[in-house]
Amino acid sequence: MLVDSHCHLGQIKLTDTMNLDDVLHLARGKGIKGFLSVATDIENAETNYKEQKHHPDVWYSAGIHPLHTKIESDWKTQLAGLVELDQFVAVGETGLDFYYDQASLSQQKQLELFDFHCYLSEQHKKPLIVHTREAKQETVNILKQYNLDQAPGVIHCFTEDWPAAKAFLDLGFYLSFSGIISFKNSQDLRDVLKKVPLERVLVETDSPYLTPMPFRGRSNEPQYVVQVAQAMADVYEIPLEKIAQVTTKNFQQVFKIQLN
């Protein structure tokens, strides 16, 4: 049994012959028992729940991606209203991404967004889903300002070095790995993964992005979490079944979800 701990179901490219029900059916046929449908803005969070709520094995997050800084003036009220709802089990995708835009004004807006997400996580005791790129120290600094012990959360699609991994682990966070771990040029990341305690890792697709080997070039789907998990199993030199068992247990602990 596997879980896709981070997928953007509302962004997967569908066709006349392949709808979301079909996408999830294919994944279930590969032994995937749960999906966390991650939002990147407020409208996306609302739409995800509205269009996917008939699937009992899909859970939802509410948050604003760090690169989505052009938002409504009442975004705090809207976001807080969503996070309060039981159907949203996590806060995010949030965080800091200074890779594309080094402008100080944009970075300041990202910091404001991330800070408020951390506040909501602390207040509602719901885990964070954190995106960080070219901003690891700034991310750590903000996380340290909050008491997140009861529901720290996940650093999603982890690609940083070991010192960053240790800093996040020391804060109580789990590290989630995507299809990048299977890429030929990702040996440094595989070396980091091998140092991470197995009981602190999650597996994700980040679909429709970052399709794992050997399917690179296709749009990513939750069914390919099997390939990500296999790549992780190869790093740890353990059976795929063990990775599936442990990451599913970790997922349930982080997001306070009980799978059937």
3-state DSSP helix/strand/coil percent for the chain, to nearest 5? 45, 20, 35
Q: Which helix (H) or strand (E) holds 177?
A: strand 174-177
Give the model's pLDDT for residue 226.
99
Give the model's pLDDT for residue 149.
86
Number of helices (H), then strands (E), belonging to the chain: the values are 9, 8
Q: pLDDT (tens digit, 0 to 9) for every residue of the chain, 260 residues total?
A: 999 999 999 999 887 778 999 999 999 999 999 999 999 999 999 999 999 999 999 999 999 999 998 888 899 999 999 999 999 999 999 999 998 766 676 889 999 999 999 999 999 999 999 999 999 999 999 999 999 988 899 999 999 999 999 999 999 999 999 999 999 999 999 999 999 999 999 999 999 999 999 999 999 999 999 999 999 999 999 999 999 999 999 999 999 999 97
Give CA–CA dist 212/194, Å, rounded: 18
Other C-beta atoms lying within 10 Å of the C-beta of residue 190 = 18
Specify the CATH number for the domain of residue 180.
3.20.20.140
Q: Is 209 domain-assigned?
A: yes
- Domain housing 136: 2-255
Q: Is 222 domain-assigned?
A: yes
**Token pair in block for residue 128:** 């964070």
Q: Is 260 domain-assigned?
A: no
Give the model's pLDDT for residue 39.
97
Domains identified in the chain, total number = 1
Give the model's pLDDT for residue 209.
97
Identity of the amino acid at 42: I
Q: Is 76 domain-assigned?
A: yes
**Token pair in block for residue 163:** 């010192």
Q: Is 142 domain-assigned?
A: yes
Give the model's pLDDT for residue 101.
66
Identity of the amino acid at 197: P
